[in-house]
Structure 1
Amino acid sequence: MKTKIMPLDFSNVDKVYETEVSCFLHPWAKQSFIEEINNPLAKYFVLLLNDEPVGYVGLWHILDEGHITNIAIKKEHQGKGLSHLLIKEIIDYKNNNHLKFLTLEVRESNIVARKLYEKYNFKIIGERKKYYENNETAILYSLEG
């Protein structure tokens, strides 16, 4: 199993969009990813497995802060530890770019993702009631230092 992480670009946006659609009930539009490629504050990384895009993570880098916009692994590749590679990549980006902290929000019911973030020392800093389309609460996390 050969893995590689590279920046999102126009050559892999279709596969990233496929990942998005396979993972989320309300996926981002393909155009949103194209706009993120052109956004100087957005940093997106694509995980390749044997040269095939199977996941991605996105970050907005604003001043000395980072906000993780999304992380996804194609359904058929979930449970293999690949999301750890993406979290490590984004933490490395944080450290290499001297960001004070990373933030994110996640569905309260997404226990798998919450355990992943907590494994990497993300701490709960709050919640947003009725944040998602189905009125589900968003749990807010931060990684400082």
Structure 2
Amino acid sequence: MTFADIPYVFDIESTVFSLPWSEAAFYNELTDNQLAKYYVLEAKDTKSSTIIGYIGIWLILEEAHITTIAVKPEYQGQGLGCLLLETIMKECKAMGVQRMTLEVRVSNQAARKMYIKYGFVENGIRKKYYSDNGEDAIIMWVVLEEDERDESGTSEFNE
């Protein structure tokens, strides 16, 4: 994510979330938070590109905390959230991250299902975490395993 991406990210953020981060919050993440890494997903055609999703993490020692993930509503249901999550998990593995965590609304069944698909387990509750309605957040964790290697040293994936 670059500074130029922030207005597009904020547009998605304010459409998808009832408690959106401000543009200033994203700007601060990019300029002041040395633990933060943010990535955007672009759809490109022959004449232009548009940001259709994004994900952010904080890297703390061998752990990564997913701070936000979203896909533009008209692109949801196409596996793009999964693509963002898979990409960040692979990126984190390459950086030596051993575990990832996040919070998700109790009511967000679609996100919870996606996280479980990628090995996250529910491991706690933050009571009244969301200030807009007092909803609880479920804390989820995943341990990032090393890819199994065959004798030639190449990775074997079952996708």
TM-score (norm 2): 0.84
3-state SS of the aligned residue for 1:121? coil
Q: Please, which of 19, 30, 40 is the counterpart of residue 34 of structure 2? A: 40
Structure 2 distance, partners of 1:42, 1:93, is 13
Q: Which has the larger radius of gyration?
A: 2
TM-score (norm 1): 0.92
Structure 1 distance, partners of 2:62, 2:80, is 27
Match runs of 1:1-145 below 5 Å = 8-38=1-31, 39-50=33-44, 51-133=49-131, 134-145=133-144
Structure 2 distance, partners of 1:90, 1:143, is 13
Structure 2 distance, partners of 1:125, 1:97, is 24
Structure 2: 5+ residue stretches without partners: 145-159
What letter corresponds to residue 20 of structure 2 in structure 1? P
What is the RMSD of the two structures over their aligned residues, measured on CA atoms? 0.9
What letter corresponds to residue 12 of structure 2 in structure 1? T
Q: Greater share of strand residues, 1 or 2?
A: 1
3-state SS of the aligned residue for 1:11? helix
**Residue by residue, what CA displacement relative to the aligned partner does 1:41-64 show, whole Å, maximum 9, x if unpaired?**
100010101221011000000111
Aligned length: 138
Indicate the structure whose relative CO is greater, using CA pairs within 8 Å and at least 6 residues apart: 1
3-state SS of the aligned residue for 1:45? strand
Structure 1: 5+ residue stretches without partners: 1-7
3-state SS of the aligned residue for 2:107? coil
Seq. identity, %: 43
Structure 1 distance, partners of 2:17, 2:89, is 23
